[in-house]
Structure 1
Amino acid sequence: MTNIAGPQDGPVAVTGASGFIGSHTVKNLVEAGYDVRACLRDATRDDKTAYLKAMHDAGPGTVALHSCDLMAASEGAYDDAFAGCSAVFHVAADIGTDPTYGRPSPEAHYDSLVTQTAGVLESARKTGTVRRVIYTSSTAAVMGRGSSDRPADYEYTEDDWAGGSYETLDERYTFTNAKGEVVKAWTVRRSSYAKGKVDAERMGFEFGAKHGIDVIAHCPCHVLGPLLGRPHDTVWQHRIGVFLSGKTDFPKQGMNWNIIDVRDIAEAQRLMAESGVASNGSRYM
């Protein structure tokens, strides 16, 4: 067990700090008195940092901005930002919610979830001080996205992996496309996310066991709540505005509707870092 006791144990880092979940995580930590290293792709963009700077001014904790490109995580992009930290909250993922950078291909998306998460973990290991990494996964890693072998009334738990057992995962996420070609999950946009989150979790748990760092996964579903900045209008929260305008913008595929407030996610993830009950390999829905 390598939990942190609180702000007195040292600074913490948040990847994806300018995003919807990331910014609320920073806010919750600062309000709890932590000194936060807020990691985002471009710390010079005022539209991405104004609300983070305001948190620093409000205190009681502090916010220090760091430019860290997730897609260079395997090259040590987070080494400097993580130095001396007691915990890392890994929220970042290249899912295409920022129109400035466009939507990644399924393969690039999968890479951001798995290969670059491995880079984040390696940067955490290098510090010699990080005790715990809280990984923002998804209920897609529990319930799956269109590839479940569970009945409709099945009650999912943290023992499920993307809609079934881990042993059947590769089989369930191998598809035959319209051309009759056999394709893997990471080449299909809808499934690259679920498979990527599962693979990132499993890789992280193995990494934690090997290096003595607790890697803990949080698997929220549809996240709603107040927006802290304009760049967040492309996440799930924006659908409320779509509905209020009289449009129905639901996805065509079946969805598992489990809604959580983003502020509860931020609170839960801080408590996961501080918990004396959680340990490496713990998953929380």
Structure 2
Amino acid sequence: MKVFITGGHGFIGSHVVRKLVEQGHSVRCLVRESSDTSRIDGIEWERFKGDVRSKELMIEGIDGCDAVIHLASPSSWDDINSPYMKQIVEDGTRNVLDAARHHGGLDVVYCSSTIAVNGTDDAVVQNEDTEFTLKDPSLVYAMSKNAAEKICEEYSDLRVVTVCPAEVYGPHDTGMVTAGNLVDFATSPVVLVTRGGTAVVHVEDVADGVIAALEKGKAGGRYILGGENLTIEGLAQLTLEILGLNKKVVVVPTPWIKSLTKVGQTLRLPLPYNPLVIPYATKFWFISNEKATKELGITFRDARATLEPTIEWLKAEGLV
């Protein structure tokens, strides 16, 4: 196949591109002038300059392709409340789907997130059928990703398959999107964590899941791509164990951290953490991967097997 990919130069996307090329497919990647393509340099792929915010450019870019994988999305914490979130995540998704429809109804894989599934105040394992109950307006990214999934449901004339990766770890996370957590655990004298939790997943397993969704996913299907569920405390402790560090991990009560964050933001005081993280880090994003395992035929590494190669890469880079 010839596959059009948005976000192909990103952390997940670069692994998807490499795997597709290794499997003999050709790839056309959407990039902007400012895109850093170093993760996919050295392999053969076609460059198309454009932006998901332009429907016309999406129609032009997808022309001649057989399928679409839509991964483009703000990913750094600094962009998590971006004023462009709706334009990129929601309107951009609609533009990609309209372009796929324009070219005769191409198959589309949309990459969402487990935060679009739901978050809870206690450790409850959720699945693809869980009701999205989040109302907190500070969870802008979660709301926007969930809204984009709803847009995908409108295109019942297309074979649209949605995948929801959990918290993705692995080597070459140069944007420190998740690897930054491990660096913080390693370098803080006392490790302070929130009462929350997440599923962790290796980036290679996510890439396998994305490609399997394109090949085997059911039209209108939704698949969670996640490995082991861990509390933030457990994630910190496992990181320190792998590194051979003996440090205390302290769980800060949710009311305390939320109050401190509110005061810091109101008074514009410097905080030793990114305040935008707190609404997410104080919830549980625990999931079941049973559906993806059964229907897509993929497997997921456990937390240790996910973190160890990430930490080895961080060591090699001199970051821990």
Do both proteins adopt the same fold according to a TM-score greater than 0.5, normalized to the shorter chain?
yes
**In 1: Cα distance, 2:37 partner to 2:124 partner:** 42
* Secondary structure of the structure 2 residue equivalent to 1:89: strand
Q: Greater RCO between the two (CA within 8 Å, min separation 6)? A: 1
Partner AA of 2:214 in structure 1: A
Q: Which digits, 9 at most, give the CA deviation of each residue in 1:198-248, with x for residues without a partner?
A: 1111111211x1xx21111111111001117xxx33311233233333367
The residue that corresponds to 2:161 in the other structure is: 216
Q: Which residue, 129, 140, 144 being the options, matches 1:196?
A: 144
Q: Which residue, 8, 22, 25 being the options, matches 1:17?
A: 8
**In 1: Cα distance, 2:62 partner to 2:193 partner:** 38
Tell me, yes or no, if structure 1 residue 117 matches structure 2 residue 58: no
The residue that corresponds to 1:273 in the other structure is: 214
Q: Which residue, 18, 22, 37 being the options, matches 2:28?
A: 37
Q: Which digits, 9 at most, give the CA deviation of each residue in 1:224-277, with x for residues without a partner?
A: 01117xxx333112332333333678775x4332000011111111111111xx
Tell me, yes or no, if structure 1 residue 92 matches structure 2 residue 62: no
**Per the alignment, do residues 249 and 141 of structure 1 end up closer, same or farther by CA in structure 2, a change over 3 Å counting?**
farther
Q: Which digits, 9 at most, give the CA deviation of each residue in 1:149-169, with x for residues without a partner?
A: xx724321100143x4xxxxx
The residue that corresponds to 1:64 in the other structure is: 46
Output the TM-score relative to the length of structure 1.
0.71
Q: Which residue, 202, 220, 245 being the options, matches 2:187?
A: 245
* Secondary structure of the structure 2 residue equivalent to 1:12: strand
Listed as ranges, the matches of 1:135-284 within 5 Å are 135-144=110-119, 148=120, 152-162=122-132, 164=133, 172-173=134-135, 185=137, 188=138, 191-207=139-155, 209=156, 212-227=157-172, 232-246=174-188, 252=194, 254-275=195-216, 278-284=217-223
Judge conservation of contact 1:217–1:283 (CA < 8 Å) in 2.
yes
Tell me, yes or no, if structure 1 residue 54 matches structure 2 residue 42: yes
Deviation at 1:104, TM superposition (A): 6.7
The residue that corresponds to 2:303 in the other structure is: none
**In 2: Cα distance, 1:248 partner to 1:27 partner:** 39
Judge conservation of contact 1:110–1:192 (CA < 8 Å) in 2.
no
Partner AA of 2:67 in structure 1: A
Structure 1: gaps spanning 5 or more residues: 1-9, 57-62, 165-171, 176-184
Output the TM-score relative to the length of structure 2.
0.63
How many aligned positions are there?
224
**Per the alignment, do residues 140 and 105 of structure 1 end up closer, same or farther by CA in structure 2, a change over 3 Å counting?**
closer
- Bigger-Rg structure (1/2): 2
**In 1: Cα distance, 2:109 partner to 2:192 partner:** 30
**In 1: Cα distance, 2:144 partner to 2:51 partner:** 19
Q: Which digits, 9 at most, give the CA deviation of each residue in 1:32-63, with x for residues without a partner?
A: 11100111222x76xx224323122xxxxxx1
**In 2: Cα distance, 1:127 partner to 1:248 partner:** 56
Partner AA of 1:16 in structure 2: G
**In 1: Cα distance, 2:15 partner to 2:81 partner:** 27
**In 2: Cα distance, 1:160 partner to 1:284 partner:** 12
**Per the alignment, do residues 103 and 155 of structure 1 end up closer, same or farther by CA in structure 2, a change over 3 Å counting?**
closer
Partner AA of 2:140 in structure 1: S
Q: Which digits, 9 at most, give the CA deviation of each residue in 1:66-96, with x for residues without a partner?
A: 12223x23x3222222112121111001344
Judge conservation of contact 1:218–1:283 (CA < 8 Å) in 2.
yes
**In 1: Cα distance, 2:26 partner to 2:85 partner:** 30
Instruction: Give identity over the alignment, percent.
Output: 28
Structure 2: gaps spanning 5 or more residues: 225-320
**In 2: Cα distance, 1:248 partner to 1:84 partner:** 55
**In 1: Cα distance, 2:58 partner to 2:30 partner:** 8
